[in-house]
Structure formats: structure tokens, C-alpha cells
Chains A and B, each alone.
Chain A
Amino acid sequence: MSFINYASREINCKIVYYGPGLCGKTTNLQYVYQKTAEESKGKMISLATESERTLFFDFLPLALGEVRGFKTRFHLYTVPGQVFYDASRKLILKGVDGVVFVADSQDERMDANIESLENLKDNLEEQGYDLDRLPFVIQYNKQDLPNLSPMDELQRFLNPNKIPEYGACAMSGVGVFETLKAIAKLVLMDLKKGAR
């Protein structure tokens, strides 16, 4: 649910990075944080375990600039990817304006990707959202690793509807901003339509 404040002339949107455990959701946010100018970003919050696995969420507020006299702010969230944190994932999806699905392109993680994508659909449905009508992009992360699933297989299993998709290596930053830009654009276009 976006929030338009006429008093402060601000618009706030919520973007959630979803995907299986260790696919690189937090790494995406960390890269965005590192590469964003000081004045455009807030503090990044990571509620993580001692072993740096996401426990509840990561949060990064970004100020992108002005559109038609309104300051646009995007709040980026990640969910905990591990299967047993499902209750937390549901909570974080509340009020979402756009979703990035971060897939782990390694061959042995294909099942985990599919399971996580199904879980995303189920959890959205529970809140009355339809993934097909929500701004949604997919990122095939870890493209630098040797044991990759073939691209056509990733597309067939994870992106049958041919939504915008990006290859990425979040560690080095390849594809990270392309993905963010794509989802931000879809969210703003969605606001324009006033569809939701």
C-alpha cells in the first residue's frame, strides 16, 4: 500500500525482495546501500541471527528524487528465506507495492526456487493479492557461479508469464540496480493507473 502525503509532498512505496534461503536478497540491499549517495539513503536495518541469516527482515529506505513535485521514497524490505520463517514472511508482505523474486541460479537450488515462488503466491493470496496483477520482476542471481541451471530452464520454471527478468551477480553488483529500477518503474506506473 503506497502512502501519498500531500502535507509533506511525499510518496512512499514498499518493495519486497523474496526468494529462497541464501539466494542473495540481503546482498542485493547491501549493494544498493553501498552504492547510494549518503543523502539519498537512510540507515539499513538488518534483523539477523548471529550467523548473519535474516531473522525477520532487512530494511533500507531510499529517496530517489522528485516526480511532479513529490518526493519519491522507496522502502526496500527482504524476507527471511529459510522455509521455517513463513509466519514472518507473511507479515512483511503486508502492504507491499512491488515484489522482486531473487532466484538462485545454481542447478541444485531449482527446487528451492520453485518452492519459494509457490510460497510467495500462497502468502500473497492469503492477503488478497494476486501476483499476476502486482508489479513483479525476477532476478536470476549468482550468474557468476559455474553450476548454473540453463537460462531456458530458469525461465520455463520460474517465469512462464515472461515478466521483466534480469541476470545478476549481487556480490559484484551486476544487475542489482537494473532490477531495482525495473521494479520502481512498475510500481510508479501502477500508481499512475491507480489500479489498486
Chain B
Amino acid sequence: MLGSQVTLVLYDDEVAAVKQVLANLLKASNSKSIFLVDKNGQMIASSGDVSGIDVTSLASLTAGNIAATGGLAKLVGEKEFAIQFHEGEKDNIHISIVGSRVILVVIFDHRSSLGLIRLRVKKASTALAEIFEEIGEKHKVQANGHDRTNPFAEITDDDIDNLFS
């Protein structure tokens, strides 16, 4: 399990694996676009037609939404509400929590249906949960001193000052 204070690190192969799952889901569910968002509001990966969507805002608002819904769940004695569905005039959004740690957002229109989305999301969630379980295990190993190179180990004051120049 990734602790709330641990830096989430994703390497190329892990991102590729995640993207593959999203691409498969996009096709199987006939949806428009799919996003995977970290519970803290960071965008992890996306698939499908994302043009015209502000993905950073989407990630932040999704995380806020899930956090607020989680707060509501606790108030009524539930661990979490794992699925949310918002129906619009044209587009709909299906939001689900994967493995208690990341959020899967699927945007779809009349070419798909809620039933199909739910069915396909379930399968993809299992695959994603496995990937993040592995990443979590890797973090444990790294915490024991087998860290891959930290790109920030060599950072200097000048590097940081340059960001603001």
C-alpha cells in the first residue's frame, strides 16, 4: 500500500502497462476518453480523444469529488462509495476507485451504455489494481535501500533558483 506521504514514482514500463489497459478499455467499452487519476489530483495517464479537455483541471476536480464523496461515505458508516455516475445531455462520466488508491474516469456518449461501461470497467480495474499492487511492492523494496536513481539527489540551490529567474 502506498502511504499518503510517500512519493509516487512511475517508470516508463509501468506507465506503458497502465496505458495499455486504458487503451483496451477504451476499445472494449466504446467510450470517448479515459483518465487515470491519483487520489491526490495528479493525472497518471489518459487514452482516447482528450483534445478540448483540460486534463489538469479534470484530475484536480475528480480527486476533490472523490475526496468529498469519501467524506460523505464515512459520515454514513461506509468505507467508500466506489462508483459514481454523472449523466449529461450528451456525455456521461463514470468514476470508480481502483484498489483504494487511484481513480478511473470514463467519459462516454450514446454509442456506449452504462451497463457496458460498468462491465468493462470492472475487468480493467482488476488489471490496474494488479499493476499498482506491483508498484506498491516495488516501493517497499526501494524503501529498504534498493532505490533506483533519484533524479533530485544532485539538485543544487542554483537549479532551484533558475526556475524562478
Give the contact-size bracket for chain B.
35 or more
A49-61 near B? 1/0 per residue, CB < 8 Å? 0000000110101
Q: Is A157 an interface residue, CB under 8 A from the partner?
A: no
B11 smallest CB distance to A (angstroms): 5
Residues of B within 8 A of A88 (CB): 68
* Stretch from B25-33, B111-119, B157-165 contacting the other chain: B157-165
Among A39-95, those with CB < 8 Å from B are 42-43, 45, 47, 56-57, 59, 61, 64-65, 67-70, 72, 75, 87-88, 90-92, 94-95
| Min CB–CB distance B95 → chain A (angstroms) | 16
Q: Give bound CA distance, A129 to B7, whole Å.
A: 14
Contact with A along B11-31 (1 / 0, CB 8 A): 110111000000000000000
Rank and list the top 7 A-B pairs by shortest CB-CB distance, nearest first. Answer: A95-B40, A7-B15, A91-B67, A3-B42, A64-B163, A4-B9, A6-B11
Besides A94-B4, A191-B150, A194-B150, 20 new A-B residue pairs in contact (Cβ under 8 A), listed by A number: A1-B4, A3-B7, A3-B10, A4-B7, A4-B9, A5-B10, A6-B15, A11-B151, A42-B54, A56-B68, A57-B64, A59-B60, A67-B152, A68-B152, A70-B152, A75-B60, A91-B64, A185-B157, A192-B152, A196-B5
